[in-house]
């Protein structure tokens, strides 16, 4: 998994949110940081979810995680564009 993820990360040219569960046993924190280091700084954001494992949207803090994702989308992806000249 890590090799494919790292190859993909080299091609990232869009805003990227990386979520990592503090208790994740499938993806280590050093692996998450390595992935983060490959993505250009202006495009990346890492959020660590305390007490959670790999399946963040199914854990005890799933609503908090969903809210975090929604806020990131609102702040990063959804942006107001000026009205186009007609």
Establish if 14 belongs to a structural domain: yes
Q: Tell me the pLDDT tens digit for each residue of 20-37.
A: 999 999 888 888 888 889
Establish if 85 belongs to a structural domain: no
Phi and psi dihedrals of 47, rounded to 5?
Answer: -125, 125
Dihedral angle sign, alpha carbons of residues 26, 11, 38, 59: negative
Beta carbons of 44 and 36 less than 8 angstroms apart: yes
Establish if 57 belongs to a structural domain: yes
Instruction: Provide the residue range defining the domain that includes 43.
Output: 2-77
Quickly state the pLDDT bin for 3 (edges 50, 70, 90): confident
Provide the pLDDT for residue 44: 92
The SS3 of residue 1 is coil
On whether the pTM is more than 0.85, the answer is: no
Q: How many residues are present in the chain? A: 86
Establish if 16 belongs to a structural domain: yes
The fraction of the chain above a pLDDT of 70, given in percent, is 90
Please state the domain count of the chain: 1
């Amino acid at each position: 998994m890590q090799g494919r993820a790292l190859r993909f990360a080299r091609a990232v040219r869009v805003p990227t949110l990386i979520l990592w569960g503090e208790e994740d046993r499938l993806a280590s924190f050093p692996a998450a940081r390595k992935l983060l280091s490959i993505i250009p700084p202006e495009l990346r954001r890492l959020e660590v979810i305390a007490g959670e494992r790999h399946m963040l949207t199914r854990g005890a803090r799933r609503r908090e995680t969903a809210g975090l994702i929604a806020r990131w989308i609102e702040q990063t992806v959804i942006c107001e564009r000026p009205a186009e000249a007609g």
